[in-house]
Structure 1
Amino acid sequence: MLATLVPLFFEDMSVASYCLYAQKENMFEHPHLLGAGKYDGAGSIVGIEVFDSISETDLIDNCSIIIPINNISLFSNIEQQLTRFQGRIMLLLDQSIKPEDSYNKRIVDLKNKGFKLAIKDLPLANVEDYKTLLKDFDLFLVNSDTGDVVEQAKAFRKVLPSIDFCAENLHSKEEFDAAKDSGLFKIFEGTFFRIPINTQDTEVTPIKMNYMKLMSVINRPDFDLEDVANVIGQDPALSIELLKIANKLTLNSNIRSIQQATALLGQRELRRWLNTTLFNGLAAGKPNEITRLSLIRARFAENLALVFDYAMRKDELFLMGLFSLLNLILDMPMEEALTQVGVSNEIKKALVSGDGIFAPQLDFLLSYEAGDWQEVSRLMVLHDIEMHVVYDAYVEALKWYGNMFIEH
């Protein structure tokens, strides 16, 4: 099985919902799914196992969890399958649901049991037939891939005056701005949030400059632990966190100095901890999803190092994932951003020009998080990767991210 969680946003770029995208089988090993993938799993809800790996606090408080449902699984035991995230589940249906009495009764029943409802892929020509059915729905998805999303929304609004609209598949900042400025949409989805804002002058605060200088030092192949300890010692917050971590690693003695702590961790662990911690500092003030996505990419890339035959370079793959949105964090071109923090040439090649030895794994990460299961299936066949290995690597990355913020 393959599964990922795709974010949807409010106009202020806070997360409104996460939508489950899942596929039960490898499309290239089971070609019939290329034409009928939406019925994969039939009565069961494919991919909900991913929620067993995360706690409710791992996702943004009060955001909706969108679960795609087809005309078969609608009549399954949804209530028994979806027992977590009470009051937050939104069932996403499509035009396979017919405006008939049997469907309407089931939808009303689910609504009365606390489920929210959404619908997508409904042509304008059919909306009039669905008016009675849609009166209980909370969200209507308007697809920008089928035409100008604003013009579509204007036409839909004439028939559906009260339902909230979501603009989906927005691929550029311009598309997002147009949808937002129209005032017709409450929620937005697409790759637009990964597109950097092009500004001529970008001011970087002094503390972020210090973070980038420190990152450029620790990402050298060999660095002096004492030099790094001296820099950390000038930052009270970093010093406190480092001592906390070091003392967790010792059973019978207390670490009382930054020098002791850096020596205990060693270069590899110190580099890893500082990159993650400093990255969170750099990302302060940016949408939380940028940080979450970067950290999950980092761990996911590291977990897949073995299957891509780069087990000895998993630390580099971690950094590639961690810094894959650094241009958004620093509001500058990727090449310039990577120069600020210091990374290997192979990471630069993958993130700047999409080539080099790490490019195939980066392509895999991006296809997976977007739920592009046809491309993921092709790459798994090409690289002879077992599906369960990929799924386990992603789930472990979700768990790791959740555990990062738990105080022990």
Structure 2
Amino acid sequence: MFAYIARQPIFDVNREVYAYELLFRDGEKNCFPDIPPDEATSKLLATSHLSLGLEEIVGDKLAFINFHRDTLMYRFPTSLDASQVVIEVLETVKVDQQLVSACKHLRGLGFKLALDDFDATDKWKPFLPFTSIVKFDITTMSDEEIEKRVPELKQQRIKLIAEKIETYSDFEKFKAMGFDYFQGYFLAYPQIVRHRALEASKVTLLELLTASASIKMDFDKVNAILERDVSLTYLLLRFINNPMFNKRNRISSLKHALTYMGEIEVKKFIALLALANLSEGKPSELMEMSLIRAKFCELVSLALDVKENPPTGFLTGLLSLLDALTEQPMEELMKKIPISEQVKDALCGRQNLLKDCLLMVKHFECANWAEIKKLSAKHKLKQTLLHAFYNESIKWGRSMRSCVNE
């Protein structure tokens, strides 16, 4: 069955997350698996197939889920919450009157239907009167052909998603064309502004990152940086008192935190504080992706017995989107933060163990199961362990992000 899940964000025109598409580990199909209809109960879906509850994976966002023909015919989605789930009808399904009737019935129960990889052929016409969303794969149709289809679908009040958006120019192009939502990793690639200097406040935050990445931390220097801005001290203490980490003791100062948590944990939270502030004004998904990557890389590096001060696995994941957050080239940023050479090499794309940790989490983001299998074999880690790490990282990332946004 599917205990293993990846998720891909779907953004609105403001680059904020509208929904997540959930991709299950089910062979090469990445869709809700064919299982006997008598197994399709709410209890089974909740406890056996979804290793995390939907709310833990997507929070208050919608979940787009791909379904096989048989699972639609047997009305499997009815075991899920219609207010949380969008049913994706795959382009590969055999379309006949029975399938149309099953989908119409599900729509009547309150589920939204989305047509995946829409190709505008006649077979989809019976679905359009009750379809809420249509998804276009921009790599399989020409811009001219897609643009031609937009007005007729808009006229039927159907929302449009552009898939495989990998650059900001693609995002702007399809936004201008009238698309409502966008799926792809364009946010993770920076719009580099090569000649723009970093603001003074961001330079201060890079100083904090430097402190968290040093072998021996200068707490007097950290205190001096924090004292310049009372809000930074407040945010740091809120981070450290987050119940996901610290459930028992209320920490009231940096010195208290050092005594209670130890230098490595304090360094991690200082790095989180700096990144949270660097991400101000950027899409919030960038921060959450950074947090998930940080936790995942930390867990993998610890499993591989990488025990270093500073926490190199954590920092590698956390800083992996720093170029997108600051709109500066990663190579130039690495000159401004004197972190370990292993972290620098990984972030700049040079091969080492930390780069493999980062590659693993990137493959999870894209549901590249074959590549995850290769890397798990290379490092002699069980795939089940990696999936457990990713699930734990999603939960931790969401919790930490909510702390940032409070």
TM range (shorter): 0.7 to 0.9
Contact 1:215 1:275 in 2 (8 A): yes
In the alignment, does 2:18 pair up with 1:20?
Answer: no
- Tell me the distance in 2 between the aligned counterparts of 1:173 and 1:40: 34
Give secondary structure in 2 for the equivalent of 1:363. Answer: helix
Contact 1:246 1:265 in 2 (8 A): no
Contact 1:5 1:18 in 2 (8 A): yes
Please, what is the CA RMSD of the aligned residues? 3.1
- Tell me the distance in 2 between the aligned counterparts of 1:117 and 1:332: 40
Contact 2:90 2:116 in 1 (8 A): yes
Contact 2:214 2:310 in 1 (8 A): no
Amino acid at match of 2:145: Q
Alignment of 1:74-223 (within 5 A): 74-83=72-81, 86-124=82-120, 127-148=121-142, 150-157=143-150, 160=153, 161-162=155-156, 163-183=158-178, 185-223=179-217
Tell me which of 262, 277, 281 is aligned to 1:281.
Answer: 277
1:267 Cα deviation (Å)? 2.0
Give secondary structure in 1 for the equivalent of 2:134. Answer: strand
1:129 Cα deviation (Å)? 2.9
Alignment of 1:230-379 (within 5 A): 230-243=224-237, 245=240, 258-312=254-308, 315-379=311-375
TM-score, normalised to structure 2's length? 0.85
* Change in 2 beyond 3 A, CA 1:153/1:333: same
Identity of aligned residues (%): 23
Give secondary structure in 1 for the equivalent of 2:311. Answer: helix
Contact 2:360 2:375 in 1 (8 A): yes
* Change in 2 beyond 3 A, CA 1:246/1:370: closer
1:355 Cα deviation (Å)? 1.7
Alignment of 1:38-49 (within 5 A): 40-42=33-35, 49=50
- Tell me the distance in 2 between the aligned counterparts of 1:317 and 1:6: 23
1:77 Cα deviation (Å)? 4.6
Amino acid at match of 1:199: V
Give secondary structure in 2 for the equivalent of 1:146. Answer: coil
- Tell me the distance in 2 between the aligned counterparts of 1:227 and 1:133: 63
Contact 1:8 1:189 in 2 (8 A): yes
Comparing 63-72 and 197-206, the one that deviates more: 197-206
Amino acid at match of 2:357: Q
1:159 Cα deviation (Å)? 5.9
Amino acid at match of 2:50: E
What do the CA deviations read for 1:95-153 (whole angstroms, capped 9, x no partner)? 343442211221111111111010113433xx2232122221111111122133x2232
Comparing 230-239 and 211-220, the one that deviates more: 230-239
1:38 Cα deviation (Å)? 5.0
Amino acid at match of 2:338: G
Amino acid at match of 2:123: D
Alignment of 1:60-71 (within 5 A): 61=60, 63-71=61-69
- Tell me the distance in 2 between the aligned counterparts of 1:188 and 1:246: 36
* Change in 2 beyond 3 A, CA 1:41/1:97: closer
- Tell me the distance in 2 between the aligned counterparts of 1:277 and 1:144: 37
Comparing 313-322 and 64-73, the one that deviates more: 313-322
Give secondary structure in 2 for the equivalent of 1:118. Answer: strand
* Change in 2 beyond 3 A, CA 1:256/1:327: closer
Contact 2:191 2:327 in 1 (8 A): yes
- Tell me the distance in 2 between the aligned counterparts of 1:246 and 1:118: 41
- Tell me the distance in 1 between the aligned counterparts of 2:163 and 2:206: 35
Contact 2:297 2:357 in 1 (8 A): yes
TM-score, normalised to structure 1's length? 0.85
